[in-house]
Structure 1
């Protein structure tokens, strides 16, 4: 039987090819680390946020910004989106549709950021992130008002926002008051200024914004133990976990504190 002689250079080349082939089959892709899955959002590459605007200082319109919106919630969510490698998109939605879960469950947005107090009723329709803000309720009146406390609201009109914890607190504690529910602060605040209601009962930071013109004052604050959370649709654990992770990271690197101090620090 004759033997075919194979050149040494050919043998070496074949061995190198086999080695490279074996390495290529076992090494993970350089484009995406092993085990890391891309976050699925309603629009690829974006984190879409629903918010009831205006509700300063948490969310407000800002024609001068790239987003068209500003506020504490908006800036925190922008930092979260950047941490996740996504672009933030903001949609203005009514609060009732947000807190009921309608806009999230119908996939109009990935997350709701709208000064939403975490409570058991809302947990039935939404999943909440870790709390990101502690809040109180408050009572706002004109400087020349005779109202000095919640006990003085008997027989007067008190403005609240529909479907909020402020409405619940007023209903339970403002005995004898005529509770007037508005869709948002955008309607409540002008109503107080025009004398259509005698007081506003709502979140402290929002009422504080209304004291800046010097004509109105906060006469009482109510420690209700409320905490705000960002909300996602029920069972959306991927987005929930991603946002919680991003919140933890922006707290650790100081980004959260920088944004918080720009809105709430006492000079």
Structure 2
């Protein structure tokens, strides 16, 4: 039930991206190498904030020089390459990132952390064009007796604080006790240890756990019409956000986006 995401907008020619980065001139009239027109945290480097781990979107490892990999990270690396910048990844808490406080603090240029675009978040964050469509899902052990969200009354359900999964559980998991965790790194061990009866969170993340251990399974998926976007500090880095959107469109048109997508989400 994986759906290829749709990126809004049309492809922009590479020359337009270079023209955008030319706000501050260099000796050869092209400042893309330093990114000086984008107001970067570090000259010549695209600094991205992300909560790690959150497989398959964010994980340790990879060969892009940042020390991290995953769908979001690899896509950010491809964008950085388009903009002639190096990639740096900062591991941060998701709650501070989705609230906008981490971005306002200037820790990074934008956030890439499987973040759903919502009206509530738009009050504090500017988003890129959507780059991924997601579902929510319910993961539990095969012997739990839980077959759907209707079976959660009296159960402890793990959710990640500040996420759309938590919001969905609050609205639909009637009679359940919701247990908040900082991230998947705490949710998954809690389920394995029997501290919670189920996890309600993004389907691709729960799917990774189902693949890793066949004593756990996704019993239900929820189409919540969610799309992920890269997050920017409200009212800041407008030129960088435009350049990121242009790069996303170019990656889509060239087929490079599909290659990155397929490496994580296409069934082998």
Q: Which residue of 1 aligns with 2:218?
A: 218
1:125-204 pair list within 5 angstroms: 125-204=124-203
CA distance in 1, matches of 2:250, 2:195: 45
- CA shift, 1:66, in A, is 2.6
- CA shift, 1:100, in A, is 0.5
Q: Which residue of 2 aligns with 1:51?
A: 50
Any idea what SS the aligned residue of 2:210 has? Answer: coil
Q: Which residue of 2 aligns with 1:107?
A: 106
Contact 2:155 2:197 (C-alpha < 8 Å) held by counterparts = yes
Contact 1:42 1:110 (C-alpha < 8 Å) held by counterparts = yes
CA distance in 1, matches of 2:165, 2:246: 30
Q: Which residue of 2 aligns with 1:121?
A: 120
CA distance in 2, matches of 1:139, 1:166: 10
- CA shift, 1:68, in A, is 1.1
- CA shift, 1:214, in A, is 1.0
1:73-84 pair list within 5 angstroms: 73-84=72-83
- CA shift, 1:136, in A, is 0.4
Contact 1:135 1:204 (C-alpha < 8 Å) held by counterparts = yes
Contact 1:232 1:239 (C-alpha < 8 Å) held by counterparts = no
Contact 1:139 1:202 (C-alpha < 8 Å) held by counterparts = yes
CA distance in 2, matches of 1:80, 1:65: 12
Q: Which residue of 2 aligns with 1:5?
A: none
Figure out how many residues of one structure are paired with residues of the other and give that number: 239
Query: Which has the larger Rg?
Result: 1
- CA shift, 1:40, in A, is 2.4
CA distance in 1, matches of 2:126, 2:64: 30
Dislocated runs of 4+, deviation >6 Å: none
CA distance in 2, matches of 1:37, 1:195: 51
CA distance in 1, matches of 2:50, 2:26: 39
Contact 2:65 2:87 (C-alpha < 8 Å) held by counterparts = no
CA distance in 1, matches of 2:78, 2:120: 29
Q: Which structure 2 residue ranges, 5 or more long, are not aligned?
A: 1-24
Deviates more, 1:196-205 or 1:211-220: 211-220
Any idea what SS the aligned residue of 1:66 has? Answer: coil
Q: Which structure 1 residue ranges, 5 or more long, are not aligned?
A: 1-27
Q: Which residue of 1 aligns with 2:15?
A: none
Any idea what SS the aligned residue of 1:211 has? Answer: helix
Q: Which residue of 2 aligns with 1:32?
A: 29
Any idea what SS the aligned residue of 1:42 has? Answer: coil
Q: CA 1:109 to 1:192, structure 2 compared with 1: closer, same or farther past 3 Å? A: same
Q: CA 1:58 to 1:33, structure 2 compared with 1: closer, same or farther past 3 Å? A: closer
Q: CA 1:29 to 1:77, structure 2 compared with 1: closer, same or farther past 3 Å? A: closer
Any idea what SS the aligned residue of 1:266 has? Answer: coil
Q: If the length of structure 1 is used for normalisation, what is the TM-score?
A: 0.86
Q: Using CA pairs below 8 Å that are at least 6 residues apart, which structure has the higher relative contact order?
A: 2
CA distance in 2, matches of 1:192, 1:183: 14
Q: CA 1:113 to 1:215, structure 2 compared with 1: closer, same or farther past 3 Å? A: same
CA distance in 1, matches of 2:125, 2:100: 6
Q: CA RMSD in A?
A: 1.8
Q: CA 1:65 to 1:252, structure 2 compared with 1: closer, same or farther past 3 Å? A: closer
